[in-house]
Chains A and B, each alone.
Chain A
Amino acid sequence: MLLPCQTVYLDKPMIATIERPETAVTVGKVLPRRPAGTLSGWTGIWSYRWALGCFVVNNLRRRYRRSVLGFIWGLIAPLATMSIMALVFSVIFHADLKQYIVYIFSGLLPWSYISESAVEGSQCFINAESYLKKLLIPKAFFPLVSVGTDCVNFIFSLTSLLLLGLVAGIHWNATVLLLPVAIAITAVFNLGMVMTYSVLTVYFRDVPHILRVIYPALFYLLPVLYPVESIPEQFRTFFVLNPFYHLVGLFRSLIAAGQVPSATQWVCASSIAAVSLVVGIVVLRAKERHLIFRL
């Protein structure tokens, strides 16, 4: 509503000519010319590698800040949880369940990585609002930070599992040396997921809540607590269609079974990761210029 008394008219705009001094000072160091907009683009992300490192390290440090043991907690916490579970199981079932525990955790740890990344990462743009509004940072930076932080945590947990196994007298197969490849594939998958979820979250703030319900439910559809062989033959196809099954399967083979996954397994997992990444990139690219107006 416009009240008449508030109407103001300005003079006709005037554009005066101005004198420009012949300055063009030589700057000490001439920086390479960068075409406008590149920094927001995808090639620019490389310039932010140090910032990425800083953010990941700071996120981790914040978690263990001022604790006496600091980073060691990253190892101790999963270690303790796993030991307790192992203890409880062996007391309840009066059996040596070492292999079962290894079996469970080789599936549980990657699953937690996937689900925690998704739930936490989906909020990355919302949490980064102050950065997005003040600095020009490639948008993919924030999903990368989120997935990177969770990835380091995941590596801590896996290391704990391997250490615990050694203490318990398990001889790990040399296949565990291939774990970095499986970790990389999972990280790519997570990155794609987080890109998609985090863009969705900017538009629908309910997304993290929905994910928090869906992911635990998905857990039971995943043969983590039970072997896939315990599923009746006719339903097994449904499990194979589950993308998470293939990713978790890699860790299963490498850690619990001590086998190098078959070529089919590698191809399946890699293509799932690639599809996830492509979807994430497409979604983010389509919306990256509009996100700022929705925060």
Chain B
Amino acid sequence: MKAQIRLENVNLNFRTYRNPSPALKERVLGLLSGRAPVDDSFDLHALKDVSLTIESGDRVGIIGLNGAGKSTLLKTIVGIYTPSSGAVRVDGQVTPLIEMGTGFDLEMSGRENIYLIGALLTRSPKEMRAREHQIIEFSGLSEFMDMPIKYYSSGMLGRLAFSIGTMVDPEILLVDEVFAAGDALFVDRARERMLALFDSSHIVVMVSHEMAQIESCCNRVIVMHAGAIVADGPPGEMIEYYHRNIVGRSVVAAHHEDFSADIRICEAYAERP
């Protein structure tokens, strides 16, 4: 069986509202006074004509500045965002590595959270019971399992989140800057776990700012800028390209106005002739 991700001319427009939900009052008052409603929305073209095919065996790293559209691309592959135009086709079961702490219920104990997160990933309590021991052991938090996790330190929370999140058998693994928090011992074990997970997945797509990690884990790198894919190729070349053409120039731009340089550059790129 072959897993595959295909994106064809995917565009994603975010209609962003300065006021995300205009109160009814304004609508009604606007109607009554006969004034045309003020359009306070502006479109953010978050993905621009993205076409991409990822085949079985690809370990893809996505790099780019903040706001370049990396996470948006992942969320579009997962299906959280529906593209405004274009087609997304995913063959295989997509497992996003759950963002640290997503879905945690702070009032509940560590053990209960294992089942809760498992359920959110559509795993039955039975399946989770089979994994519970493994998760607890990996996290190294067995003596804290029956304590509400709001008393955990942030390192402990990170360890628990990582242990639960990586206890999956993915076909297509999407990783959005998930790094293990914790002490050096745990980080080492976590790295090992991550690599094992990568090995057992058909496809890995990861977003990261750590070039060393990208270089060691991926066999293909995509450079994104201002919502578009600007380069696609082997890791070494792509990372160099990214530093030379995007980071380098942004530093120059940021020098003139350090405030939201990224966004300005995005606009500049969008409006280039």
Contacts and interface: CB of A to CB of B under 8 A. Distances in A.
Interface of A: 2-3, 5-11, 13-25, 27-31, 33-34, 36-37, 39-40, 47-48, 50-51, 53-54, 58, 61-62, 65, 130-137, 202-207, 210, 289, 292-295
Interface centre among A31, A47, A50, A202 (most CB of B within 10 A): A50
Contact of B80 (A10, A47, A136, A210): A136
Contacts of B2: 24
26 contacts: A3-B257, A6-B261, A10-B246, A13-B229, A13-B231, A15-B233, A16-B233, A16-B237, A16-B238, A22-B57, A23-B202, A24-B56, A27-B201, A33-B93, A36-B91, A50-B124, A53-B119, A54-B116, A54-B119, A65-B107, A134-B98, A134-B103, A135-B98, A207-B24, A289-B82, A294-B20
Please classify how large the interface on chain B is, using the bins under 10, 10 to 19, 20 to 34, 35 or more.
Answer: 35 or more
B269 to A, nearest CB: 7
Nearest to B271: A2
Interface string B227-258: 01111111001100100011001101100110
A10 B103 CA distance: 40
Contacts of B253: 5-6, 8
B200 A27 contact: yes
B267 interface: yes
B23 A58 contact: no
B103 A131 contact: yes
Interface of B: 1-2, 14-15, 17, 20-25, 27, 55-58, 78-82, 88-94, 96, 98-99, 102-103, 105, 107-108, 112, 115-116, 118-120, 122-125, 169-171, 199-202, 219-220, 225, 228-234, 237-238, 241, 245-246, 249-250, 252-253, 256-257, 261, 264-265, 267-269, 271-272
A30 B27 CA distance: 53
Contacts of B237: 16
A204 B168 CA distance: 39
Select the residue from A29, A47, A135 with max chain B CB neighbours within 10 A. A135
Given A18-B234, A293-B15, 16 more contacts: A8-B252, A9-B272, A14-B231, A14-B233, A15-B233, A18-B232, A21-B57, A23-B57, A24-B57, A25-B201, A28-B169, A134-B96, A135-B96, A136-B79, A292-B80, A294-B17
Given A8-B253, A33-B1, A65-B107, A202 B264 contact: no
Contacts of A11: 241, 245
B271 A10 contact: no
Contacts of A203: 21
Main secondary structure of the interface of B (DSSP, over half): mixed
Contacts of A295: 20
B105 A2 contact: no
B217 to A, nearest CB: 13
Given A36-B79, A36-B91, A136-B80, A23 B56 contact: yes
A27 B245 CA distance: 39
Nearest to B16: A293
Given A8-B269, A50-B124, A134-B99, A19 B234 contact: yes
A132 B75 CA distance: 11
Contacts of B219: 18-21
A29 B169 contact: yes
A91 to B, nearest CB: 41
B243 to A, nearest CB: 13
Q: Across chains A and B, which 9 residue pairs bring their CB atoms closest together, nearest first? A: A16-B233, A51-B119, A36-B90, A23-B57, A50-B119, A47-B122, A289-B82, A206-B24, A8-B249
